Structure 1
Amino acid sequence: MRYFKLLFLLLCSTAFTFTAHAQANYTKIENYKVYYGVAKHFPQEWMILRQFDNYDKNYVLLVNPQTLETKTDESSFYQITPMTMLQARAFFKNTPYQNALAKAEKQSVMIQDAGIENGMPKETGISLTADLCPSHRPLDRRIFTDIIAEFKKVEHPVPIALSITGVWMRQHPDDLEWLKKLQADHEIYITWINHSFTHRVSLKAPLKENFLLEPGTDINYEVLETEKAMLKNGLLPSVFFRFPGLVSDQQLVFRITDFGLIPIGTDAWLAKGQQPQSGSIVLIHGNGNEPVGVTDFINLLRSKTQAIANKQWLLYDLRESVDDEFEGKD
């Protein structure tokens, strides 16, 4: 069974690699809404997360509960059964996607770093995540040029997960196009993580009233407008969400999982001196505001040059890392 799963993931990864650049730009999105259910197109059953219209056609955003792969497609291609979120989660019970949602909810009481903090502890390597919070500074392109240079002989394209905000997309169109070109040229493979639209933050407020916990925050806007901005820019939303500042409370975590999104934390924020272990989800900031963390990561890469060459230290696709960690768990 494990062999067939790995073969399926390989085929999906290969197919996605060659079509990633073809993700549609939905330039006239209307009626974008949360919508749950099952979409069946033999032999695969997908879970529906969103529904929207674009130029008089109806589309759905889907997730494969076994692989955490997402895609958008015309709803008319599927046999659709509408459900509530609870019904859909029960229908896909014990899949890696539902197990990851449940694990994130169990770790929801922490004010900081709730959610999934690491992936495959048995693997030698990490899942790299870089946050793109609003910033007047340009993208720190060293991250991408250096990982491509280090891994080009052993991993191609190189996987990276980017937590992106709506404001950053609006402020940095040239940097966004540069990233999209790297993906289209098969240099990197990006998992796009929702990081909220505005990334609200106060320099004075306590954590319990800061970031998305700030009174008056419209969480529907923060989540759904970011997804719409992704789709309009030709990016494919994943099932992951990263809290701004890694700050949340239990109620907010459940609000996010009610959107069908898996909160992703970190056990290795490099700029804070946290050292990555096998299977770590590493956090750096790629928005130009955290050069120390980027430098630390580049130094980490250089220290692993020989291990990388021998395929003993690799970067892992965040989807497959979380998928493998939660496969078959109750």
Structure 2
Amino acid sequence: MRLKLLTVFLLIYTAHSFGQAKYDHITNYKVYLGWAHHTPQDWVIIRKFDDRNKNYYLLVNPQTLETKIDDSSFYQSKPMTGDEVKTFFKNTPYQKALRKAEKASITIQDAGIERGLPQETGISLTADLCPSHRPLDRRIFMDIFNEFNKVEKPVPIALSVTGIWMNKHQQDLAWLKEMQAKHEIYITWINHSYNHRVSKSAPLKDNFLLEPGTDISYEVLETEKDMLQNGLLPSVFFRFPGLVSDQQLVYSITGFGLIPIGTDAWLAKGQQPQAGSIVLIHGNGNEPVGVNDFIKLLQSKTQSIAKKQWLLYDLRESVDEEFVEDK
């Protein structure tokens, strides 16, 4: 009996210590749009899948942009078309963010939402984890924790992760999950595609996800499945590899129910962050210049951080607040 209780305890601890249960027998994973209700909250359904003879939804809170996985039997629900979802939830921050991202879809680089609220005295930090042979640049995470832990804990950061990076860097991924389990950081996991293919010679219109023959469903859904199998919770955000897209690709991503996120401050390119900026660095070891610039930025803000006059913001809250009604 004691052994059984210990086994149950370990299973519960494993699920909660990393903040998200693992789903390692996923089948029938697919886009599924609809409405779900569990008093008092309405949710947007964006995915449906089976695991160990149970059916699950990936749900989005349309007011806060938070996501969660839950047993579908807990909800009153109905399927909807994309247009029906847009109409039913049209006044929510979620749909407003999707509409803004679509309006910015014409440019071939940096489409999507580039910044949060300009009155914020701080930034939203995003770090991309593209495929790399180098290890995770752990300085980023240690430095933000050391700078902010007395005034802001856990420290929020958004990580754009690729399927290939997850599969090739299991030790680094475990380290990040441990930091989150210790409440040192809080990670919003952004879908960054599965393969993140790139050509050094192809023009942008035929590069990254615009490469001819790209299977966008695979790039999006396989990454989400890998997140779930690794105990990560997919967010409602997507970042285009290389920040490269076209209008059709942007609408494909919003059709998955995801909000494209760009940046107005790619540090390695010399772009300086402003109040409310969505800052981009690369945490995969391939961009030491951007990481060094961010560490210098932190050092320059030490006194402001101590006085809570310059903070890191949760990407979901930063984007969500811009679209709250009556603002």
Amino acid at match of 2:295: I
With over 3 angstroms needed to count, the CA separation of the structure-2 counterparts of 1:329 and 1:284, relative to structure 1, is: farther
Q: 3-state DSSP class of the match of 1:22?
A: coil
2:102 match: 105
Matched letter for residue 199 of structure 2: S
Q: Alpha carbon RMSD of aligned pairs, Å?
A: 1.2
- For residue 55 of structure 2, the aligned residue among 54, 58, 83 is 58
- What is the distance in 1 between the residues matched to 2:102 and 2:144? 33
Q: Which of 237, 251, 254 is 2:251 aligned to?
A: 254
Q: 1:34 aligns with which of 7, 24, 31?
A: 31
Matched, 1:300 2:313: no
Q: Could you state the TM-score of these two structures normalised by the residue count of structure 1? A: 0.94
Deviation of residue 21 (structure 1)? Answer: 2.5
Shift of 1:89: 1.5
AA aligned to 2:260 is P
1:46-77, Cα deviation, whole Å (9 max, x unpaired): 00000000011000000000000000000000
User: How many Å apart are 1:81 and its aligned residue?
Assistant: 1.1
Return the offset for 1:22: 3.5
Q: Does 2:243 match 1:243? A: no
Deviations 1:144-174 (A, max 9, x none): 0000000011000000000000000010000
Identify the range of structure 1 (81-90 vs 157-166) with the bigger mean alpha-carbon deviation. Answer: 81-90
Q: TM-score, normalised by structure 2?
A: 0.94
In structure 2, distance between residues paired with 1:100 and 1:52:
26
Residue 125 of structure 1 is matched in structure 2 by 122
- Which among 210, 214, 226 is matched to residue 211 of structure 2? 214
Shift of 1:19: 5.5
Unaligned ranges ≥5, structure 1? 1-17
Superposed counterparts of 1:1-330, under 5 Å: 21-328=18-325
Tell whether the 8 Å contact from 1:134 to 1:199 is kept in structure 2 after alignment: yes
The one-letter code sitting in structure 2 at the alignment partner of 1:127 is S
Cα 1:329–1:194 shift into 2, 3 Å: farther
Indicate the SS of the match to 1:223.
Answer: helix
Distance in 1 (alpha carbons) for counterparts of 2:215 and 2:290: 31
Q: 1:107 to 1:40 in 2, by over 3 A?
A: same
Whole-angstrom distance in 1 between the partners of 2:299 and 2:35: 46
Identity percentage of aligned residues: 76
> What one-letter code is carried by the residue in structure 2 that aligns with 1:185?
K
Q: Is the 8 A contact 1:65 1:92 kept in 2?
A: yes
Q: Which runs of 5+ in 2 are unaligned?
A: 1-14
